[in-house]
A and B are shown apart, each in its own frame.
Chain A
């Protein structure tokens, strides 16, 4: 099974600071059809997760453009350019290239 390793596990930031979260895969996430099925989710306290980024770098409708995704193969990054209070929560990467699907362990974004 594909293992997704997220770092750091916890991130402390001030409002307005830019931060990055890494997601490394144990196998390439490049599908034979040429797509890379790596998504980023945010789970706010007490809520189900929300899709932020799909196919590595595509912004889901309604998601602010301070969120961006990049990467290829086995290394991926989520960047928040200017953290806002509503961004606090736990971020997860998830891959849909291989079965079974797998989630990263999560990165908790806290206020410093």
Chain B
């Protein structure tokens, strides 16, 4: 069974940092590109980052470029999102996804508030 399990979310103050993780199982993690997508409360889906299967390419949405860093460790079947200089507008559920958006985790909630 395919599973993506996100963790690392929580309540943080503006300007702080947070690192999210996404552990994959049930498929060959090292063969697939991985995405981070977020959804602000009562809003639509926003794609924020992509990393190729071999980490050779990374892409970011303009809204997070320069503040967020996507990475992966294929030996640990784990995807990461390092988030710096967090803002209130980064408050959202953060999902990892793969295989052309066929696989999704349940999400981890990040709340940025003072």
What 1/0 mask marks residues of chain A from 61 to 98 whose CB sits below 8 Å from any chain B CB? Answer: 00000000000000000000000000000101010100
**Residues in A neighbouring B107, C-beta threshold 8 A:** 48
When the two chains form their complex, are residues B100 and A39 in contact, meaning their CB atoms are under 8 A apart? Answer: yes
B95: contacting residue among A37, A48, A100, CB under 8 A: A48
Chain A residues in the interface with B (C-beta under 8 A): 1, 37, 39, 41, 43, 48-51, 54, 60, 90, 92, 94, 96, 99-106
**Residues in B neighbouring A41, C-beta threshold 8 A:** 45, 101
For the complex, is B53 an interface residue (Cβ under 8 Å from A)? no
Q: How many A-B residue contacts, CB cutoff 8 Å?
A: 54
Inter-chain CA distance A51–B45, complex, in Å, is: 13
The smallest beta-carbon distance between B60 and chain A, in angstroms, is: 7
List the B residue with the shortest CB-CB distance to A105.
B44
B104: contacting residue among A39, A48, A101, A103, CB under 8 A: A48
List the A residue with the shortest CB-CB distance to B99.
A51
**Residues in A neighbouring B106, C-beta threshold 8 A:** 48
When the two chains form their complex, are residues B59 and A99 in contact, meaning their CB atoms are under 8 A apart? Answer: yes
For the complex, is B46 an interface residue (Cβ under 8 Å from A)? yes
For the complex, is B11 an interface residue (Cβ under 8 Å from A)? no
Inter-chain CA distance A2–B113, complex, in Å, is: 31
Q: Give the interface centre of B45, B46, B107 by most chain A CB atoms within 10 Å.
A: B45
**Residues in B neighbouring A101, C-beta threshold 8 A:** 35, 47, 50, 59
List the A residue with the shortest CB-CB distance to B65.
A100
When the two chains form their complex, are residues B50 and A92 in contact, meaning their CB atoms are under 8 A apart? Answer: no
List the A residue with the shortest CB-CB distance to B57.
A99
Known A48-B106, A101-B50, A106-B45; 5 more pairs at CB < 8 Å: A48-B95, A100-B59, A100-B62, A103-B47, A106-B44
